[in-house]
A = this chain, B = another copy of it.
Amino acid sequence: MTELSKPAYVVLGMIATGRRSGYAMSRTAKEATRHFWATSDGQIYPQLKNLSDDGFIEGERESQGGRERVVYSLTKKGRDALDEWLNSGAKAHYELRDEGLLRLFFAEELSVDQLRAQIDAMRTRHERAIEHLEDLRPRAGDMACAHLTLRYGLDLHAFSIDWYDRLDGELAEHDPDERAGDALRAINEVVSG
């Protein structure tokens, strides 16, 4: 069985968990999975067509209260493909892209003061992320897995806040005009020594 693309598995998973129209998938993608796996409309709708053509899913027109839409369901082939992916030991893609960390990496020549300002900005950013996830919580309804991944996100950002707080605490004891690289070198020796 040739492997499907990531957006294809997203669509299959969405159908299996009750998001049966393209629009419903789009909403869930924005509200529930975006914080660990972004998927845009430009991927979802073409996928629905592809997976239909290839016999993984079947669409059926439905008019719910006058509104026209297409609701999809998994075929046997689609079910199997999804189950295989969900249970495969195949290494899962993992990637972090954090521009804040990139700035920290290049902060060697900044002053301690400037570095602390950056750290503060990162802290705020993680706080915003938590607020955002808290707002989404009510919409997870009774989906236990949605709550689970939401909780991971919340805990992850809380971890980061804590991490930056501790770093900031160390930096606070240094001269604001000291070179950031020098201050960090001193701190690292304490931590790892």
Contact = CB atoms under 8 A, between A and B. Distances in A.
Interface in A26-85: 32-33, 35-38, 82, 85
Is the contact region of chain A dominated by helix, strand, or loop, or is it mixed? helix
A22 interface: no
Nearest to A188: B147
Nearest to A91: B125
A35 B102 CA distance: 10
B108 A85 contact: no
A91 B122 CA distance: 9
A106 B155 CA distance: 20
A98 B144 contact: no
Interface of A: 6, 9-10, 13-14, 16-17, 32-33, 35-38, 82, 85-87, 89, 91-110, 114, 117-118, 121-122, 125, 129, 142-149, 151-152, 155-156, 159-160, 163, 167, 180-182, 184-185, 188, 191
10 contacts: A10-B102, A16-B109, A33-B105, A92-B98, A92-B102, A94-B100, A95-B95, A101-B149, A144-B182, A147-B184
